[in-house]
Amino acid sequence: MAEDVRINARSTGLPPLRIRAARVIVTCPGRNFVTLKIETDQGVYGVGDGTLNGREKAVVAYLEDHVIPVLIGRDARRIEDIWQYLYRGAYWRRGPVTMRAIAAVDMALWDIKGKALGVPVYDLLGGPSRDGVLVYGHANGADLEETKDEVARYLDAGYKAIRAQTGVPGVAKPYGVSRDKDFYEPAEDELPVETIWSTPQYLRHAPKLFDALRVRFGDDVELLHDVHHRLTPNEAAQLGKSLEPYRLFWLEDPTPAENQEAFRLIRQHTTTPLAVGEVFNSLWDAKDLIQNQLIDYLRATVLGAGGITHMRRVADFASLWQVRTGCHGATDLSPITMATALHFDTWVPNFGIQEYMRHTEATDAVFPHAYWFEAGRLHPGDAPGHGCDIDEALAAKYPYAPKQLPVARLEDGTMWNW
Ligand code: GCO
Ligand code: MG
C-alpha cells in the first residue's frame, strides 16, 4: 500500500512563523526613509519600505498606531491573509498612506518567507522571466548643452535608456533639473518651495531638447521624458504630437490622472507612448486607463501600490491589454523598495522598464543590498528574501528632518500641479 501521501491541508513546509515584534525605523541619510522591521519567533526578520515623500510621519503613525498592534501573534507565512486583513480591515480603503503602510508589511513578509525558505523572492513568484532588469537613468541640465552632456555621461556609464529633463527659458525652477547631477531630491526644505511654471515656454522648448538629442546621439538610445502633471489634456496632445518625430520610449504624467478619461483625448492625437501612475496606490486608479488602452506603461510600484501582493494583480490585469510595467524608482523610494521591485521586475511577464535614480553612498550604507548595475540593467542578486537590509546603528546616526515637496504656481499666481 503506497504510503498515505495526503498532505496536511494546513502544512506549507514551513513551521509557523509567529510575529513577535515589529517596529518602525525612521532615518534621514540625506533624505527621510520609513522602514518597518518585522521579527518572528523563529529568529527570521524582514524589512519593508513605507516612505511617502513629505508625509513620512503620517505613515509612521499609521504603522505604529494601527498596524503593528494587529500584527503581533499572526503567522508571517500568511502573506495574502494579512494583506486582505489590512486592506479590508482598514474600512477607509486605499490612499497613499494606507497603501504604503500595507506595502511596508507586505515587503517585510515576502522577505521573511524568502529567508525562511532560503530562496530569493523572484523564485517565490514564479522564477526569472529575464536576465537583468532594463533601467533608465536621469540626465538633466540647466540648458540644452548641459543636458546633452549629461545624456552623454549616462551613455558612457552604460545606460541604454535615459530620461532627459532640461531647464525651460524663463522658468526659474522647472521640474527634474537638479544642482547635483547624480542625485535628484525635490523635497529640499522644511516648508514647500514655491516654483513658477510656464506651459507656453515649456511647449515651445521641449521639442528642441529631443531634436538636439537625436541629432547628437542618433536613434539607438531610448529617450524618456516626464511632464510631471503640468499640462491640460489638449496641451498634452499637442506635446505628444510634436515629439513623435523623436520616437520617445515614453512621455510620463502628461496630465493629472484623477480623470482617467482625459487620456482618451491625448490618445486620439498622438502615438507617443504614455506612462502614468507613480502617484497611484491601487488598481482602481488605473483600471479605466488600462482597459481602454489609454496608456502604454504603468508606473505604480511595490511601495506606492500596497506591496508585491497587490502589484502582481495590477500587472496581470494590465497584461490583458498589453500594458507594461514601468515602476517608479526615484531616490525617495528606499533601496528596500528598489530591491523588492527588482524581484518583481525579474518575474513579471509584461515588464517594461525600471526607473533607477541612484541613491547616495550614505543611503546605500544604511541599506546594504544585493542588487547591482551592469550594462544598462539592474540585477537583484540571489540572496534569500529581497536582498536588502537596514543597518540600524548607522540609521540611528541620521535623525528625521522634516522636508516637504515643492509647490507650483503659474506666472499669474494660480496654484498649479508641481
Ligand atoms: C519620477 C518622479 C519623481 C517625483 C518624486 C516625488 O519620475 O521619478 O516624478 O521625480 O517627483 O518621486 O517624491
Ligand atoms: Mg515621474
Cα 330 to middle of ligand 1, angstroms: 6
The Cα 340–Cα 307 span in angstroms is 9
Query: Hey, which of 332, 357, 359, 405 would you mutate to test ligand 1's pocket, going by the most ligand atoms within 8 Å of its Cβ?
Result: 332
Q: Whose CA is nearest to atom 13 of ligand 1?
A: 53
The vertex-132 CA angle with 385 and 384, nearest 5°, equals 15
Q: Whose CA is nearest to atom 12 of ligand 1?
A: 330
Give the residues across from 373 on adjacent strands: 378
Instruction: Assign 2 a pLDDT band (cuts: 50, 70, 90).
Output: very low
Average pLDDT of 78-97?
Answer: 98
Cα 331 to middle of ligand 1, angstroms: 8
Instruction: Assign 31 a pLDDT band (cuts: 50, 70, 90).
Output: very high
Average pLDDT of 168-172?
Answer: 92
The predicted-structure confidence for 274-285, as pLDDT tens digits, reads as follows 999 999 999 999
Structure confidence at residue 109 (pLDDT): 99
Cα distance between the two ends of the chain: 71
Please name the fold of domain 2-119. Enolase-like; domain 1 (3.30.390)
The predicted-structure confidence for 348-392, as pLDDT tens digits, reads as follows 999 999 999 999 999 999 999 999 999 999 999 999 999 999 999
Measured from the CB, is residue 25 less than 6 Å from ligand 1?
no
Amino acid found at 346: T
Measured from the CB, is residue 332 less than 6 Å from ligand 1?
yes
Q: Whose CA is nearest to atom 2 of ligand 1?
A: 330
Query: Hey, which of 49, 251, 328, 331 would you mutate to test ligand 1's pocket, going by the most ligand atoms within 8 Å of its Cβ?
Result: 328
Structure confidence at residue 67 (pLDDT): 98
Contact yes or no for 368/389 (Cβ under 8 A): yes
Domain-by-domain residue ranges, the chain?
Answer: 2-119, 124-384+406-416
**Pairing label, strands 194-197, 407-410:** parallel
Please name the fold of domain 124-384+406-416. TIM Barrel (3.20.20)
Burial of 302 (0-12, 13-18, 19+ CB in 10 A): buried
**Which residues, chain by chain, have CB under 5 Å from ion ligand 2?**
226, 278
In 189-340, beta strands by DSSP E: 194-197, 222-226, 250-252, 274-276, 297-298, 324-325
**Pairing label, strands 161-166, 222-226:** parallel
pLDDT at 304 over 80: yes
Prediction pTM value: 0.96
Q: Whose CA is nearest to atom 1 of ligand 1?
A: 330
Measured from the CB, is residue 222 less than 6 Å from ligand 1?
no
Mutual orientation of helices 308-319 and 79-88 as an angle, nearest 10°? 90
The Cα 125–Cα 129 span in angstroms is 10
Closest to 354 measured CA to CA, from 362, 370, 369, 343: 343
Amino acid found at 413: G
Average pLDDT score, the chain: 96
Answer yes or no: 175 catalytic. yes
Q: Whose CA is nearest to atom 10 of ligand 1?
A: 330
Measured from the CB, is residue 56 less than 6 Å from ligand 1?
no
pLDDT at 9 over 70: no
Q: State which ligand 1 atom lies nearest to the alpha carbon of 226.
A: 7
Percentage of the chain exceeding pLDDT 90: 94
The Cα 355–Cα 138 span in angstroms is 9
Cα 74 to middle of ligand 1, angstroms: 35
Q: Is 115 helix (H, G, I), strand (E, B) or coil?
A: helix
Burial of 381 (0-12, 13-18, 19+ CB in 10 A): middle
The predicted-structure confidence for 250-270, as pLDDT tens digits, reads as follows 999 999 999 999 999 999 999
Q: Which of 138, 228, 369, 386 is catalytic?
A: 228
Cα 140 to middle of ligand 1, angstroms: 13
Cα 256 to middle of ligand 1, angstroms: 14
Q: Which of 62, 136, 175, 184 is catalytic?
A: 175
Measured from the CB, is residue 355 less than 6 Å from ligand 1?
yes
Phi-psi category of residue 413: left, alpha or beta, with phi > 0 → left and psi -120 to 50 → alpha: left
Higher local confidence (pLDDT), 48 or 178: 48
Q: State which ligand 1 atom lies nearest to the alpha carbon of 418.
A: 11
Ligand approaching nearest to the C-alpha of 357 = 1
